[in-house]
């Protein structure tokens, strides 16, 4: 039981670190909060809520992966290196594509509620 408790403690510590130091993650949390409020304001269906939550958590998880890889690369190669830049750009592209997917999902779900 102690190992499980420690695992949660470490995970929360990592989340706290991200919330304190990662500007993009903070922005994503704010957008997620707006979407959650909109979900309940417009009384979306359970399926719509599930899809929106899946999109939100996917974007947040991908941003966390991006943060880990960027920090790891900065640790391994502190000086500017062209290959590191390319890897970081690719990770940023993955986050962008995920965010665009979430925007499309949100648009599909909320479109009927905005234009009634």
Q: What is the pLDDT of residues 35-68, one digit of tens each?
A: 999 999 998 999 999 999 999 999 999 999 999 9
Domain carrying residue 60 = 2-114
**Average pLDDT for 21-36:** 97
CATH number at residue 38: 1.10.287.3610
Average pLDDT over residues 102-112: 97
For the chain, the average pLDDT equals: 95
- Domain total for the chain? 1
Q: Which of 57, 56, 63 is nearest to 92 (CA)?
A: 63
At residue 116, the pLDDT reads 74
CA dist., res. 17 & res. 79, Å (int): 23
């Amino acid at each position: 039981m102690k190992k499980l408790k420690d695992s949660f403690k470490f995970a929360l510590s990592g989340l706290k670190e991200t919330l304190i130091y990662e500007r993009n993650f903070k922005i994503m949390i704010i957008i997620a909060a707006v979407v959650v409020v909109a979900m309940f304001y417009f009384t979306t269906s359970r399926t719509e809520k599930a899809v929106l939550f899946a999109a939100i958590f996917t974007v947040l998880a991908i941003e966390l992966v991006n943060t880990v890889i960027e920090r790891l690369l900065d640790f391994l190669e502190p000086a500017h290196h062209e290959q590191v830049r390319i890897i970081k750009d690719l990770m940023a592209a993955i986050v962008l594509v995920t965010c665009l997917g979430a925007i499309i999902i949100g648009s599909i779900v909320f479109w009927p509620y905005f234009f009634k």
